Structure 1
């Protein structure tokens, strides 16, 4: 389960841990009035709390089962057949939908109420509203990519249950408006570790423009984030030092832009999902409570097989583990916590936006706008150098050469390769393949499977049709369900 590490730290530093835990989270209701900074801070924590169920295991689990390099196991196996979701996994996607709309509801309530607060200045109120509009945009960005057209609920219509679907283009306009406001009004730096700020808003807006193939709009935003000098790649000399980014004891790092954090009271269940009960890392259990080993990769998978053994990311991200199958198998080892006390107790954070993502996006946007160029290649080389234990900022003999990637297609293929290995098991690869309209092509090439059209979107939950009478299940359900 996901939560804010910064909140726990903040509470303890102010010697009010027990009092805050007794009082929070309170039920967020339409009559709640947010008057003080403390109450406004609670308003931001409410939607962050609502993201927890959907992102605890279902979202990253489904995204990784769909990748070209991993396979689902057990009740997750059918996800790697690319025929659409079976009933068990529809239940999981329904949970993501509920989580996202629960967060949107909490954002809408606070966005509506905060302008009336009398104990804060307009600047203070707008800063909190900026954080909330970032979180609302984050939720809708996931909804529109995973479901397509969806009901658009905001602070003005949140009491109307019966709402028809809004076209994707209009949902994106709404997202862009929210992030434009957040970019202008959110705090310059996060109030707490894990809360949004101006640069995380700029980073997410750039991702939205990339999704829309509006590369000229994305490129200057990405450049601003890079040139802010607020973030940098963490240096590593050995593969184990990637723990400085992803390990369970990391509070934050120079790469963190927007992560889902945890308190130490409730952690991230996805770590249990990846783990095997017999797996050990440096002599310690991969997960203190066991493991579900819900996903794995195969030695003969072309993406895995092509991965250079000298790339430190390979040793860190994958762990050979016998799963009793007829081929050599490896489980994802990026996230592990030997001290996790229970299934949902791992202390790792979910890295939703990190600096490496911005460098990859910048290279992609620059390639689309300017064609292959040295500036874009430099950003890829920073990531590539770090992967081999080198200084990301220092030119190396092993650097990619522009002459070898002298077309947009070749350059994009290089970006795709670096993204795959850099983002291994972070829930980002499938969304990239969808965005670039590469999912069918890549899955066919790598796994030899034809992706059905119905697999490209999640089904709208049946409960939405039961209670939202503006939707007709015969007309409004996504194709194939």
Structure 2
């Protein structure tokens, strides 16, 4: 990706990227701007959690996946009111799974693409890693130096992982070394030409970065906007689940659970507009906070939960009332974000880790342990006087129930798209997606090339990358 200049760095907003493949803007220096030189400066860059410019914990690279998955519909009654324009057309295109998604010109601060935001955060992580190498920390500064470096490794791994789920083929051990993944940028210099790496090499970098972060970070950080070892373990469990290495997935999931925290008993949650603790701060399940971009396609104005999905929650399932409400037009709206407001939570939490553990254990033959993990989760989701522990003995039936609970529990967290991709590899768990768009039925078949989104037009024209076939 050719970018012409990177001349000034700001403490809290180091670079301002104005769209993928476009220039970095030269920021006018003033007394409040400075080049970061201390460990605290570099940590401050990574603590830029939710600002409008270069947020580290907001606008995660999940927009296309959330729009493309099968968790909600845009009702035909309001589909025709969806506005036109560059900011909105790519959302409508992705909702229809069109061959062409980006028209060219998307991106920037106000309308970030998944591609854009992922590489902005990767650039920040590289900047921090490069800067820290120039600092020889005093003994008293070593803990902060380690934490800052570990945080940068985590964010680089996290963003590459998210980008791979959108813009690269699903991990396949037989073809990963030849499948095209993402361009791996490991340096600050934005003018350096970088080719697309293989999917295998991308996953290896993610694992290497997370392995490095694991020995540098504290178990649990002071705030959940920062990653700790528990977040690293949760992400490693997710990575190995995606790679179908179930032995390692259950090792990291079990280690993550063992570091503390607990499942939230939904019996103690009161029903109101947004029932879960704000920012996930006091939610014992949340181990790392991240939120999705507020795309119009899944805003309250357009998002309607599918009735078949809603009806899959039993009357005694507390998620049925905590996650959903009916609006004045009779549509089912979602209010169950673990961020505690209208922003969709796309971070890491223990409920997902329990489900990773259950699925992975079952797939390696530990049926009873898998069932115990699933029951541990569900007893905190159902009314106490109504839940009876499951006693499923058939392995296929138990797997089906675990996968059902992933869809129900992890609703609108950005993981459904990656689940569809990996599960489509097996005909027994493959899904045909279907939408009724103003009377027109559109489908997305399992393993379709349209499960791999195209790179933005600017990335292709400026970076010279080969485009994903559609």
TM-score (norm 1): 0.74
1:363 to 358, 377, 380: 358
1:456 to 448, 451, 460: 451
Structure 2: state its 5+ residue gaps: 1-9, 17-23, 25-32, 83-87, 169-180
| Whole-angstrom CA distance in 1 between matches of 2:348 and 2:237 | 11
SS of alignment partner, residue 260 of structure 1: coil
Alignment correspondent of 1:419: 406
Alignment correspondent of 2:251: 220
Taking a change above 3 Å as real, the CA distance of residues 112 and 46 of structure 1, as seen in their structure-2 partners, is: farther
Alignment correspondent of 1:379: 373
Deviation at 1:62, TM superposition (A): 3.5
Q: Is the 8 A contact 2:11 2:34 kept in 1?
A: no
Taking a change above 3 Å as real, the CA distance of residues 245 and 39 of structure 1, as seen in their structure-2 partners, is: farther
| Superimposed CA distance per residue, residues 36-61 of structure 1 (whole angstroms, 9 cap, x where no aligned partner) | 342232132258766649954x8555
1:82 to 79, 82, 97: 97
Compare the two structures and name the one with the higher helix fraction. Answer: 1
SS of alignment partner, residue 161 of structure 2: helix
2:73 to 71, 74, 84: 71
| Whole-angstrom CA distance in 2 between matches of 1:383 and 1:337 | 20
Taking a change above 3 Å as real, the CA distance of residues 418 and 316 of structure 1, as seen in their structure-2 partners, is: same
Is 2:306 the partner of 1:312?
A: no
Alignment correspondent of 1:97: 115
2:262 to 225, 232, 241: 232
Alignment correspondent of 1:163: 194
Residue-pair matches, total? 407
Taking a change above 3 Å as real, the CA distance of residues 27 and 351 of structure 1, as seen in their structure-2 partners, is: closer
Deviates more, 1:377-386 or 1:243-252: 243-252
| Whole-angstrom CA distance in 2 between matches of 1:337 and 1:256 | 9
1:270 to 277, 283, 294: 294
Alignment correspondent of 2:349: 354
| Whole-angstrom CA distance in 2 between matches of 1:363 and 1:53 | 31
Taking a change above 3 Å as real, the CA distance of residues 227 and 192 of structure 1, as seen in their structure-2 partners, is: closer
- How large is the Cα RMSD of the aligned pairs? 3.6
Alignment correspondent of 1:154: 186
Deviation at 1:294, TM superposition (A): 2.6
| Whole-angstrom CA distance in 2 between matches of 1:312 and 1:102 | 39
2:327 to 321, 330, 333: 321
| Superimposed CA distance per residue, residues 189-246 of structure 1 (whole angstroms, 9 cap, x where no aligned partner) | 2143310111111111111111111111111111111122x11011222663598973
SS of alignment partner, residue 350 of structure 1: coil
Is 2:437 the partner of 1:477?
A: no
| Whole-angstrom CA distance in 2 between matches of 1:146 and 1:251 | 29
Structure 1: state its 5+ residue gaps: 1-22, 262-267, 277-292, 339-345
Is 2:292 the partner of 1:255?
A: no
SS of alignment partner, residue 39 of structure 1: helix
Deviation at 1:297, TM superposition (A): 2.4
| Whole-angstrom CA distance in 2 between matches of 1:454 and 1:349 | 27
Alignment correspondent of 2:43: 41
| Superimposed CA distance per residue, residues 129-177 of structure 1 (whole angstroms, 9 cap, x where no aligned partner) | 111000000010011121111111003x745532111011001111110
Deviation at 1:430, TM superposition (A): 1.9
Q: Is the 8 A contact 1:63 1:427 kept in 2?
A: yes
Deviation at 1:425, TM superposition (A): 2.2
| Whole-angstrom CA distance in 2 between matches of 1:336 and 1:165 | 35
1:467 to 459, 462, 465: 462
| Whole-angstrom CA distance in 2 between matches of 1:296 and 1:225 | 34
Taking a change above 3 Å as real, the CA distance of residues 78 and 196 of structure 1, as seen in their structure-2 partners, is: same
After superposition, residues 194-205 of structure 1 pair within 5 angstroms as: 194-205=225-236
Alignment correspondent of 1:287: none
